[in-house]
Amino acid sequence: MDLRNARVWVVGASSGIGAEVAREMVRRGARVAISARRKSELEEVASGGMLVVPLDVTDHVAVQAAAQQVSRELGGIDLLVAAAGYWQQTTPGELDLDLFTRHVQVNLMGMAASISAVLPDMRARGKGTVVGVASVAGYRGIPGAEAYGATKAAQINLLEALRAGLRGSGVRVQTVCPGFVETPMTESNQFPMPFMIPADRAARTIVEGIETGKAEIIFPWRMALLMKVARLLPVRLWTLLAEPRGERAS
């Protein structure tokens, strides 16, 4: 994909991966609109060079309205990057329904709402790209990430199904599965985060993957390899390996 003059909408761009992807897109010549809840942070990211359209991804009417505004002001949307995300660690072996619901609303329904807002026009034009930012945390169940991991697994499944369903339509679907990235979302984590990389490096990897048309963009490679292998482990073995050390779920 040639990003020069491409009309790009990045949802979830006030910080972290989304913000750095938006900046990288601009550096490569794209015309970029960015959305998230915090207008002041969006304006800081934009630095006068991007269209700022604040929205809350849990408000599906607002997402539709934002998509219409972006399309109107940019003259259409060639590429959606759905990067809005929420993370809060949970207590292993417990299930906080309110916290679980919040993860679903932002991560899963937010992505679905963003895609739903652009997909009809892309299908009508027979052209467009949808990029969804999931996570390697969706590959296996990890204690303490019950809510986050479940939504990431659902995102991976959603994007995979759309990719197959849209085959031949002219609309490309790409799945991004990062490992640990230095962002405001991860800075408060109190557990080991192997192979962590800076957000700007993650953004370059994502944008290069978009340009080359990769169906899956997974990084860093060591974390990707580790989690790909984890997918192949028998359920009983994974349960033993993933069990929190020093404590057992009651």
Distance between CA atoms of 142 and 126, rounded to whole angstroms? 39
Tell me the two tokens of residue 87: 């993370």
| DSSP designation for 214 | -
Distance between CA atoms of 70 and 157, rounded to whole angstroms? 27
DSSP annotation string for 13-54: -SSHHHHHHHHHHHHTT-EEEEE-S-HHHHHHHHTTSSEE--
Distance between CA atoms of 185 and 164, rounded to whole angstroms? 31
The Cα-based distances of 171 to 14, 30, 33 in angstroms read: 26, 18, 20
C-beta atoms surrounding 241 within 10 Å? 10
| Residue 115 amino acid letter | I
Active-site residue, selected from the candidate residues 87, 148, 180, 219: 148
148 belongs to the catalytic site: yes
Distance between CA atoms of 13 and 33, rounded to whole angstroms? 9
Q: Which residues are catalytic?
A: 148
